Structure 1
């Protein structure tokens, strides 16, 4: 009885002990109503997966993707029902996928040996704009339908130039994208058919970049990061400006090696949500702050499970407490990852027998990924 009571007490106290510094939380985007935050995270231990969580950063956490490779740059459709994202790092293996906002209905939209990535939705929700290779290994801007058909190339710049990270302004009258030659990104605005490109930030010298632009929902301001003040590979700050690129307002003061990244405007609460890495080997966390850069608050943690990884009585994990071995009864093949209560992954096993004799006595979590499910199963256990 004492053991059971101790176990229950530990479970109840978990929300107070989760660590927040052993994973990356990156690229926050908000649902149109501002109630849900989508982001990429390495909290599962191996690579970036896409999660959603309430806008407080901790409630109703749900993992949406389950596969090998990084899932990056999630984008939310205007009606909030769909998520598009890049699967894979930059290069010929990167492809674009779309899914429902609960992770169901996953569909691959591009399938070739060319880079396709960084998707965004048009304001009417009928088109995806993205970066991709044409006949060279330098990205251009493309559009396609939500099912991957009707791929149309919008830009065709000569030479070794990059056209990347495209997005529409809120009324769909302009496309903004990053243009670069070599670590010198700046932003360009053009018509939806690719005509009349205009620089909205000045072309930079090597090492100075403006990137990760986002619009205020009312089209009144843009936010992006710049290395204007920190220089190459030494950090970046967030800037708010008018949509034509004028009236820069620097709202952060990065230390050397500190990165303020991917700022987005909340549609209602007057806050900016962003990722920050203080440098010196640190990790990215998600923060919010006032629009003037004051009252910064970290809202992310590294909890590796949520409502998408609930306990399941059909899975038998025994003995509990375990001494030398933990056994899992489940009808299909499984992968088991063992986590500490702080959210740190300490062991990965492919199979239904897990050796735990080397673990320090205490509480642990077995996160079980069956081959026949798109969700993980969480089972807490004690090591004695």
Structure 2
């Protein structure tokens, strides 16, 4: 009877039956076996971990230096029957209804060597823990080693933004032996010291890579605030304060706190930006303060910056196409407001000049739009009273007393200078010397005329003569392009210099007799300057910025301390103090 029961018991377990019903006729039985015991099963579970430097997320209670492997595949075979499971986010797996005295278990993760356990015994009503209390630790197919070194112990090591749970030992060195190849970040969270920056290491298979962290004593040194250099600016235009020169001595991060100390009230775009913006509405000296704060809440000393703001007065006349394909005459207030279009033609209008009283504008018109036949023209300051004369010429200047104008036109095949009444009557030829003449201007006292003459393809030199054409004197002889000229209020000559026609120009000045030549200070950021014209008080210079085809009307302080543009494209500006 006992041997028959044993055979049937094995067969039942082989088919995982909950209970078996049979008749043992060979032993005389005729019904249920009266002493058949209840069938009981066991289970298999465990935790699977991978080393740091892998892609799983960390969970609590994991072994030091490892983190759980999510979705690892677990294969169990007991007495020919197979079952599978996957690990969860904590690395845990469990397989139920198992029994067998010799089970085999295999754990698989892509990129890692399989972990195999043979001869696992599973007993009824018991759970067999694979890997024991430490869990199953997987090893990558390929790996390198990261050794972390520090000058102090006690900080927790962080790899790829995850806290490893490993505290830097007293030996101040710890190695992670199974790090997957690729780029990894390493850091240490260390209290009581200034934080050291996270480092990046590119691990290759079989390599050893060491990263070292040096922690400085607690930060008690305040940062340094730098509100920038004192400067000048223009009323009505945005100004950017600059605190980027501020710093933390330990190299840490800082925050910014700006405030206004004195001057006309204004608002900043943000008191916490490194470079806040404000727009001064009126003339005055605006003083701002800056304090910076480091991560240890140390406050810097207060630093201040003073911005001298002046108003731009007067008016500008200039020529511009403004996307129209042809050029017309415009006016704008010197402060960039009240832009007006005075001519509206489908041909070229250019080279405008104010009359001394500001009531009229002298300019050149090309009604045929052939770029060959230019005529002397005048109009009122508001664009009315247009008078295009029948005198051919390119207009250059209006005499200080308002009685005469200068223009340039061909004479016997060479461009020469002419002088006439403002209505182009009573003409007189001033020059007959060889070589073409270009721009010309009366001196502030009206006694002299300055002009440019082309001596070679790129050589444009500066000449001065008396108003009647006598005493012709060439002041420069450098074979450079002195393309644009104007007088300063004190009677000096302001001119541009370039290496060639179309090359970028710098600004220079010399006395009316050609002595005392020197570079004129240009603001930082100004790389080209055309058509400079100084205001009557000598404080500002208007110009166009030389961006070919997209020139802008700009203004700078005469000392080169600051510049801005008026927000309009255009060229050939002329200034009048107003009204």
* TM superposition score normalised by structure 2: 0.36
| Distance in 1 separating the partners of 2:339 and 2:388 | 25
1:246 maps onto 2:481 in alignment: no
CA contact (8 A) 1:285 1:300 kept: no
**Deviation (angstroms), 1:192:** 2.4
SS in 1 for 2:390: coil
| Distance in 1 separating the partners of 2:501 and 2:396 | 31
CA contact (8 A) 2:396 2:439 kept: no
Q: Which residue of 1 aligns with 2:386?
A: 151
**Deviation (angstroms), 1:146:** 1.1
Q: Which residue of 2 aligns with 1:84?
A: 317
**Deviation (angstroms), 1:280:** 9.0
CA displacement 1:119-159 (0-9 Å, x = unmatched): 111122211110011245221111111111111112344xx
| Distance in 1 separating the partners of 2:502 and 2:422 | 41
| Distance in 1 separating the partners of 2:521 and 2:315 | 23
CA contact (8 A) 2:397 2:442 kept: no
| Distance in 2 separating the partners of 1:278 and 1:213 | 21
CA contact (8 A) 2:481 2:501 kept: no
SS in 2 for 1:195: coil
SS in 1 for 2:363: strand
| Distance in 2 separating the partners of 1:180 and 1:61 | 47
CA contact (8 A) 1:185 1:203 kept: no
CA contact (8 A) 1:273 1:288 kept: yes
| Distance in 2 separating the partners of 1:14 and 1:170 | 34
Q: Which residue of 2 aligns with 1:290?
A: 511
**Deviation (angstroms), 1:237:** 1.1
| Distance in 2 separating the partners of 1:118 and 1:295 | 29
1:234 maps onto 2:467 in alignment: no
Residues 146 and 281 of structure 1: CA distance in aligned 2, closer, same or farther (over 3 Å): closer
Q: Which residue of 1 aligns with 2:51?
A: none
Residue 184 (structure 1) aligned to one of 408, 411, 414: 414
1:214 maps onto 2:447 in alignment: no
Alignment of 1:112-151 (within 5 A): 112-135=345-368, 137=370, 138-151=373-386
**Deviation (angstroms), 1:191:** 2.1
Residues 118 and 374 of structure 1: CA distance in aligned 2, closer, same or farther (over 3 Å): closer
Residues 60 and 285 of structure 1: CA distance in aligned 2, closer, same or farther (over 3 Å): farther
Q: Which residue of 1 aligns with 2:481?
A: 259
Q: Which residue of 2 aligns with 1:165?
A: 395
CA contact (8 A) 1:186 1:209 kept: yes
SS in 1 for 2:377: strand
**Deviation (angstroms), 1:300:** 4.1
Q: Which residue of 2 aligns with 1:175?
A: 405
Residues 278 and 154 of structure 1: CA distance in aligned 2, closer, same or farther (over 3 Å): same
| Distance in 2 separating the partners of 1:221 and 1:83 | 24
| Distance in 1 separating the partners of 2:318 and 2:355 | 14
| Distance in 2 separating the partners of 1:88 and 1:215 | 28
Q: Which residue of 1 aligns with 2:64?
A: none
Residue 193 (structure 1) aligned to one of 398, 407, 423: 423
| Distance in 2 separating the partners of 1:149 and 1:127 | 9
**Deviation (angstroms), 1:287:** 1.1
| Distance in 2 separating the partners of 1:262 and 1:213 | 9
**Deviation (angstroms), 1:194:** 2.0
CA contact (8 A) 1:211 1:226 kept: yes
CA contact (8 A) 1:85 1:97 kept: yes
**Deviation (angstroms), 1:218:** 1.1
Superposition CA RMSD, Å: 3.8
Query: Which deviates more, 99-108 or 178-187?
Result: 178-187
**Deviation (angstroms), 1:88:** 3.6
1:224 maps onto 2:446 in alignment: no
| Distance in 2 separating the partners of 1:281 and 1:93 | 21
| Distance in 2 separating the partners of 1:251 and 1:237 | 7
Q: Which residue of 2 aligns with 1:309?
A: none
| Distance in 1 separating the partners of 2:380 and 2:476 | 38
CA displacement 1:302-330 (0-9 Å, x = unmatched): 5349xxxxxxxxxxxxxxxxxxxxxxxxx
Q: Which residue of 2 aligns with 1:303?
A: 524
Unmatched runs of 5 consecutive residues or more in structure 1: 16-58, 65-79, 158-162, 306-344, 346-368, 376-384
* TM superposition score normalised by structure 1: 0.53
Alignment of 1:368-379 (within 5 A): none
Residues 251 and 196 of structure 1: CA distance in aligned 2, closer, same or farther (over 3 Å): same
CA contact (8 A) 1:92 1:115 kept: no
